[in-house]
Amino acid sequence: MNRQVTLRSRPAGIAQAEHFEIRSVPVERPAPGQILVQNLYLSVEPAMRGWIADAGNYGDQLPLGSVMRSLASGRIIESNHEHFRAGEYVTGWFGWQDFACVAADQVLQKTGESEMRASLGILGINGVTAYLALTLVGQPRAGETVLVSSAAGAVGSAAGQIANILGCRTVGIAGGADKVRRCVEEFGFEAAIDYRGQDVAAALERLAPQGIDVYFDNVSGPISDAAMPHLAPGGRVVVCGTASLDRWTPWPDGPRVERHLLVKRARMEGFVIFDHMARYADAVAQLREWIEQGLLTWREDILDGIVCCPDA
């Protein structure tokens, strides 16, 4: 039998365990062109909040009763496709379930057994997003100051380290003393601001007196409102996430950013990884090289068992 975590009801804000249910169904057998994967690791992504929310987000809205959409890593149990064989490890859009019978286009990459977990993090959507969003939209140059919000998170911690590798000075924003310590001691930020215990605007005045050349924004909201006045002339804002807001209905009030962009001749651009999948493999190769050189590190938070998914 195949245990599947399905969407029971649509949350108004952040999903809770009661919005999901676990059902058991027979394991499917692969049709021609399909493979059967036994999932060993399932991902939990911030983007899931948008996929299960009201329509209007990027990506199709997940229908009620459907298996929760997610990336997963696992081992091929049976293959009816010429490019895959039983025993290989793969990562792809397999969903929150024990087994996934999928077509080849749902496979994102073949994965060595030792990289299954990393392929859902630093060598997956999180690391690739950090690398491509920073380099394609932020376009940092050596010596510039890069500010990253949610800097201890999966994407933010990677973005800060990549900016360091590219020769930039990095400042992080995170919540709480432990995350601030982690930013500096583990992820190499030159400085970090605790938005819970510090005045963000005053700290930026002190830490970036010449202004922020690249702001890698994962949160939106009051933190970004405090950062925008500190953009340097020609600054670039990478809008990668809006984690500080749990819903966009009704539309939240907030300061206007147009004057900051105008007088600083700055640029603000959103980034969604699905627009750049053609670059995915090259990005993974670059990230792997930096890991092998000891330049890139990461943390993982792992829960044991599919029963943990609804509350994850």
As a CATH number, domain 125-274+284-290 is: 3.40.50.720
| Structure tokens, 237 | 């804002």
| 159 pLDDT above the threshold of 90 | yes
**Burial label, 262 (beta-carbon count in 10 A; 0-12, 13-18, 19+):** exposed
Report how far residue 290's alpha carbon sits from residue 52's, in angstroms, rounded to the nearest whole number: 34
Task: Express each pLDDT in 182-211 by its tens digit.
Answer: 999 999 999 999 999 999 999 999 999 999
**Burial label, 233 (beta-carbon count in 10 A; 0-12, 13-18, 19+):** exposed
Q: What is the average per-residue pLDDT within 62-71?
A: 95
pLDDT range class, residue 254, cuts 50, 70, 90: confident
Domain ranges of the chain: 2-121+299-311, 125-274+284-290
Contact 228, 209 (CB under 8 A): no
Residues facing 22 on adjacent strands: 5
Q: What is the average per-residue pLDDT within 281-306?
A: 96
Q: How far is CA 201 from the centre of its chain?
A: 26
Is 3.40.640.10 the CATH classification of the domain at 2-121+299-311? Answer: no
Report how far residue 85's alpha carbon sits from residue 40's, in angstroms, rounded to the nearest whole number: 17
Structure confidence at residue 247 (pLDDT): 74
| 131 pLDDT above the threshold of 90 | yes
Q: What percent of the chain has pLDDT over 70?
A: 99
Which residues of 70-225 form beta strands (DSSP E)? 72-79, 89-92, 99-103, 107-110, 145-149, 169-174, 191-194, 212-217
Q: What percent of the chain has pLDDT over 90?
A: 88
**Burial label, 97 (beta-carbon count in 10 A; 0-12, 13-18, 19+):** buried
- SS3 state at 261: helix
Least confident of 56-60, 74-78, 262-266: 56-60
Structure confidence at residue 211 (pLDDT): 97
pLDDT range class, residue 255, cuts 50, 70, 90: confident
Chain position carrying tokens 């997956």: 124
**Two domains, one topology: 2-121+299-311 and 125-274+284-290:** no
Q: Phi and psi at residue 230, in whole multiples of 5°?
A: -100, 10
Task: Express each pLDDT in 26-60 by its tens digit.
Answer: 999 999 999 999 999 999 988 888 888 865 567 78
| 115 pLDDT above the threshold of 90 | yes
